[in-house]
Amino acid sequence: MEKIRIIVAGPRGRMGSEAVKMVNSTEHFELVAAVDHKYDGIMLSDLEGLHSIHNVPVYSNIETCLQNVGADVLIDLTTPEVGMHHTKTALAYNVRPVVGTTGFTASDLEELEHICQEKDLGCIIAPNFAIGAVLMMKFSQMAAKYFSDVEIIELHHDQKLDAPSGTAVKTAEMISAVRETKEQGHPNEKETIQGVRGGNYDGMHIHSVRLPGLVAHQQVLFGSDGQTLTIRHDSYNRGSFMSGVKVAVESVMEHNSFVYGLENILV
Ligand code: NAP
């Protein structure tokens, strides 16, 4: 079996460094390069925490990287702006993106889907690679058929740049797909502190909590007459996302289309 040749963008990051280690320790994966905007022309083993990863060149520019190394897959774990640029550039070079970076807009996703269609190339974007989180979203969608009132509370570490989380938006989208639009709460409800009821997505409310000590957590609360149901998932470390990234890398090699959400590739 030929190895899948992989580039990781964002190798010093909390997610990226885990991805580097996961790729390096997977027998049928080969880490061929890394993209880091602060370093060029060094080896990954020169970077703090990555000394044991040998013979992997680092490029500051994605295009130069793609021109110099033969790769099958780009794993992007950076920031929304640069992640979009990396993803488009990878597709232009016929390299399949697996994107964990969150904060892409609906029009970004549409644009990428269009490029994938034109190029007949696979791309997987997942706002949450934790398999437990995917099940939490699926269970929430099941529950929403029977409970039309729902509040989503997502809780993350305080260094997270985007709010609400991609997982919360994806959960809201999945719930919206199965329930009638409903403005929740009292029709005359007034906020005496602005924003206290959270963001409104199709009538349901999303609340974003940011605190040091947290990693990635979400609870979805459903209520109806005389009962509530709470579905909760907790990621306690970044390693929790890597089994999903691995499945996505394997799967993107089999797909020739755009996939948004890990739930669409888990069988
Ligand atoms: P992080 O620790 O801040 O890492 C981001 C990395 O991207 C940093 O090393 C940063 O470098 C680097 N970077 C910034 N601009 C860059 C550029 N132009 N080129 C290359 N690298 C660049 O963040 P994280 O916690 O690892 O999260 C990374 C992304 O994954 C975020 O969007 C986060 O929301 C998302 N995430 C996704 C999942 C999932 O399951 N899908 C789970 C957790 C997090 P500097 O330090 O020099 O700025």
Per-residue pLDDT tens over the stretch 226-247 = 999 999 999 999 999 999 999 9
pTM, entire model:
0.86
Q: What are phi and psi of 65, to 5 degrees?
A: -60, -50
In this structure, the residues whose C-beta lies within 6 A of any atom of ligand 1 are 9-10, 12-16, 35-38, 77-79, 82, 100-103, 126-129, 160, 216, 241
- Residue for token pair 């699926």: 138
Model pLDDT, residue 205: 97
Per cent of the chain over pLDDT 90 is 94
The Å distance, Cα 71 to ligand 1 centre, comes to 21
Model pLDDT, residue 258: 98
Buried/exposed 91-102: b ≥16 CB within 10 Å, e otherwise: beeebbbbbbbb
The Å distance, Cα 79 to ligand 1 centre, comes to 5
Q: Which of 15, 259, 260 to mutate to test the pocket of ligand 1 (most atoms within 8 A of CB)?
A: 15
Buried/exposed 210-241: b ≥16 CB within 10 Å, e otherwise: eeeebbbbbbbbbeeeeeeeebebbbeebebb
Model pLDDT, residue 201: 96
Model pLDDT, residue 146: 95
- Calculate mean pLDDT across residues 14-27: 97
Strands 73-76 and 96-99: parallel
Helices of type H across 53-202: 62-68, 80-92, 106-119, 131-144, 166-176
- Calculate mean pLDDT across residues 108-135: 95
* Residue 160 appears among annotated catalytic residues: yes
* Residue 114 appears among annotated catalytic residues: no
Residue 263 pLDDT level (bands cut at 50, 70, 90): confident
H-run or E-run covering 233: strand 227-235
